[in-house]
Amino acid sequence: MEYGEMCRQELEELRSRLRMEYEEAKSRGLSLDMSRGNPSPSQLRMGQDLLDACPDVDRLFSEDGVDCRNYGCPGGLRELRELFGSIIGVPASNVYIGGVSSLNMMFDTVSRAMLKGLAGSPEPWGRLDEVKFICPVPGYDRHLSILEYFGIEMIPFPLTGEGPDMDEVERIASSDPAVKGMWIVPIYSNPSGDVYSQETLRRIASMETAAPDFTVFCDDAYPLHALYGEYEKPLTLFSECAGAGHPDRAIFFTSFSKVTFAGGSVCCVAGGDRTMELARKWFSVQVITHDKVNQLRHIRVLKDVEGVKERMDRHAAIIRPKFELVEQIFERELGGTGIASWNKPRGGYFIGLRLNCSARRVVSLCADAGVKLTPAGAGFPHGTDPSDGFLRIAPTYPSMEDLERAAELLCICVRLAACEKLLCE
Ligand code: PLP
């Protein structure tokens, strides 16, 4: 029954019943952390082949004869540049392989923009009175933290399921020269699961911008992270930008963090010719070479796009049942109540739960009962969701048993918070 249709007495009775269920769940002494989208131990165990890939110290040479034990080959092994390039839709010559973290590359690129400017910048962003960014929300909290760290103003844009409302994005980007950039996670967005449509990408590539150096920070973190084997095609954004006469409009980032080892894989940055010229110059001062042994391991194990997909199928076999379990519990406990809705992602690492009650209250109830969720508001500028109505659910890490208990507790907390809210109105 819809909670909104219940009379006061029904709601009061329901609240007392839920209170008892909550106290009962609390007494079980749960201790679960569902706050981050980490791969589970069984997914990580798949990485054994990575550790076994280079057993012989004298055979650490790439196909081109690069000795991976030594300095040299600063932009990374050709084979790996080709692999990343074919995944993100950028020519291998425009891909630079970094270290273990794409987030680090994103931070580094914003730092460079602030200190030196990017391709087409009349001056470094740090010299300007104000710098603004378009931020699709709910978004990846760590993107927002980078902007917050540099004092960049964030303009939140709600996502539609296929990216942000492009009419609005075009309006803001074309009217305000202080708007210098935009984050996008075009495939299985963290945390909404949005997959940007071809049309959205085309419009992002071709739109008029008031800032000559308007830059799309394209974090393609989940390019092949399909749950049902329906792999998205490589991004067309690079070629769309080139075709629209804005070859340096987008800078691309990705890594194999959710393919091999989280925070222990290999990442890349890519972009137009001028972008990469400036990036290489910057990198040449800060690092001699990244870890090519790790690059070689990845190439030996993953081989090519088909090899990555085969591995992602195995990841999906582990995590898909977890997504489905949460969705089933949501359907059973929250379906038809009118107090919550959620997406059914086809890939990525998160389920977005939208609430008609206070997300903060739900997080706090769950925490008191031993389940740590991502803080409410984490995907919004400065950690504040004006509607206090969104929760990011990360089902991948816990075991099925723990996940079941956590999802059931979460539903009790959502229902309780909804009753409390209705009784206060
Ligand atoms: N970008 C997004 C959208 C993510 O969700 C994550 C991790 O969850 C990252 C980047 C982090 O990537 P990396 O481990 O390469 O720094």
Kindly indicate the confidence band of residue 242, based on its pLDDT and cuts at 50, 70 and 90: very high
pLDDT of residue 216: 98
Q: Looking at the predicted structure, is the pLDDT value of residue 34 above 90? A: no
Q: How far is the CA of 98 from the centre of ligand 1 (A)?
A: 14
Query: Is the beta carbon of 259 within 6 A of some atom in ligand 1?
Result: no
| Separation of alpha carbons 289 and 238, rounded Å | 26
Q: Looking at the predicted structure, is the pLDDT value of residue 346 above 90? A: yes
Query: Is the beta carbon of 374 within 6 A of some atom in ligand 1?
Result: no
pLDDT of residue 107: 98
pLDDT of residue 1: 84
Q: How far is the CA of 423 from the centre of ligand 1 (A)?
A: 40
pLDDT tens track for 35-76: 889 999 999 999 999 999 999 999 999 999 999 999 999 999
Buried b (16+ CB within 10 A) or exposed e, 210-229: ebebbbbbbbbbbbbbbbee
Query: Is the beta carbon of 185 within 6 A of some atom in ligand 1?
Result: yes
Query: Is the beta carbon of 351 within 6 A of some atom in ligand 1?
Result: no
Query: Is the beta carbon of 212 within 6 A of some atom in ligand 1?
Result: no
Query: Is the beta carbon of 386 within 6 A of some atom in ligand 1?
Result: no
pLDDT tens track for 258-279: 999 999 999 999 999 999 999 9
Strand partners, 157: 136
Q: Are 410 and 18 in contact (CB under 8 A)?
A: no
Helix residue ranges per DSSP H, 131-272? 141-149, 166-175, 198-206, 237-243
Query: Is the beta carbon of 268 within 6 A of some atom in ligand 1?
Result: no
Q: Looking at the predicted structure, is the pLDDT value of residue 33 above 90? A: no
Q: How far is the CA of 417 from the centre of ligand 1 (A)?
A: 31
Q: How far is the CA of 102 from the centre of ligand 1 (A)?
A: 7
Query: Is the beta carbon of 219 within 6 A of some atom in ligand 1?
Result: yes
Q: Angle at the Cα of 217 (from 216 to 222), degrees rounded to 5?
A: 125
Mean pLDDT of 347-355: 97
Strands 32-34 and 371-373: parallel
| Separation of alpha carbons 334 and 104, rounded Å | 39
Instruction: State which ligand 1 atom lies nearest to the alpha carbon of 263.
Output: 14
Q: Which two tokens stand for residue 205?
A: 């590539």
Q: What is the mean pLDDT of the chain?
A: 97
pLDDT of residue 170: 98
Helix residue ranges per DSSP H, 182-261? 198-206, 237-243
- Report pTM: 0.97
Percent of the chain topping pLDDT 90: 97
Q: How far is the CA of 391 from the centre of ligand 1 (A)?
A: 18
Q: How many CB atoms lie within 10 A of CB 413?
A: 26
Mean pLDDT of 363-367: 98
Q: Helices 400-424 and 359-368, interaxial angle, to 10°?
A: 130
Q: Looking at the predicted structure, is the pLDDT value of residue 284 above 90? A: yes
Question: Radius of gyration over alpha carbons of the chain, in Å?
Answer: 23
Q: How far is the CA of 146 from the centre of ligand 1 (A)?
A: 13
Query: Is the beta carbon of 260 within 6 A of some atom in ligand 1?
Result: no
Q: How far is the CA of 5 from the centre of ligand 1 (A)?
A: 42
Instruction: State which ligand 1 atom lies nearest to the alpha carbon of 255.
Output: 15
Kindly indicate the confidence band of residue 349, based on its pLDDT and cuts at 50, 70 and 90: very high
pLDDT of residue 19: 97
Q: How far is the CA of 333 from the centre of ligand 1 (A)?
A: 31
pLDDT tens track for 290-345: 999 999 999 999 999 999 999 999 999 999 999 999 999 999 999 999 999 999 99
Question: Which position has the higher pLDDT, 226 or 29?
Answer: 226
φ, ψ for residue 57, nearest 5 deg:
-60, -25
| Separation of alpha carbons 388 and 286, rounded Å | 42
Query: Is the beta carbon of 209 within 6 A of some atom in ligand 1?
Result: no
pLDDT of residue 119: 98
Pocket test for ligand 1, best of 34, 189, 219, 254 (most atoms within 8 A of CB): 219
Kindly indicate the confidence band of residue 15, based on its pLDDT and cuts at 50, 70 and 90: very high
Give the residue whose CA is nearest to atom 4 of ligand 1: 221
Q: How far is the CA of 360 from the centre of ligand 1 (A)?
A: 24
φ, ψ for residue 299, nearest 5 deg:
-65, -40
Query: Is the beta carbon of 221 within 6 A of some atom in ligand 1?
Result: yes
Query: Is the beta carbon of 192 within 6 A of some atom in ligand 1?
Result: no
pLDDT of residue 142: 97
Helix residue ranges per DSSP H, 244-304? 273-286, 292-302
pLDDT of residue 36: 85
